[in-house]
Amino acid sequence: MFTRIDHVGIAVHDLEKSISWYETTFGLTVASREVNEEQGVREAMLFVADSPAGGSYVQLLEPTRQDSPVGKFLARNGEGVHHIGYGVDDVENALASIGAQGVRLVDQRPRHGSMGASIAFLHPKDTGGVLTELVQAAKR
């Protein structure tokens, strides 16, 4: 079902400071920056590697409000890995198949994600404590 790791989402307090650290320390470059008000994040995708199935990224996430998922996560855990995003060919099919196995779906239908992707989250309480995101990348 999964075609690749699309991205690793990392919760940060200060997006610009974290971008600089990833650029300087690992030589990564920013592929996109967006504010997603629905999700309550200001985020940047830093390109890591390409594959026939699509790119892989580090996604740095700063909350735009304290009561958002990333704001609550930071208050509880501090900075760190927030979620894993797996590439899928068809997010609606993947959701139906995973939901049929009894995994709680945070999103019943796909939402708008970074770089034009269609995304949907699975509940971390049903995925071994790892917030899991399905990502159908925009056509390229």
> Would you count residue 82 as binding ligand MC0 (CB under 6 A)?
yes
In the three-class reduction of DSSP (H, G, I as helix; E, B as strand; rest coil), residue 110 is classed as: coil
Report if residue 9 touches ligand MC0, rule: CB under 6 A.
yes
For the bound state, the minimum distance from the C-beta of residue 17 to ligand MC0, rounded and expressed in Å, comes to 19
- Tell which positions 38-67 bind ligand MC0, by CB under 6 A: 39, 41, 43, 59, 61
Q: Please report how close the Cβ of residue 75 comes to ligand MC0 at its closest, in angstroms.
A: 9
Distance between CA atoms of 87 and 137, rounded to whole angstroms? 7
By C-alpha distance, which of 68, 63, 78, 94 is closest to 1?
Answer: 94
Report the b/e string of 37-50 with b at 16+ CB within 10 A.
Answer: eebbbbbbbbebee
Q: What is the DSSP letter of 105?
A: B
Binding site for ligand MC0 (CB under 6 A): 9, 36, 39, 41, 43, 59, 61, 69-70, 72-73, 82-83, 85, 106, 113-114, 117, 119, 121, 123-125, 129, 131, 133
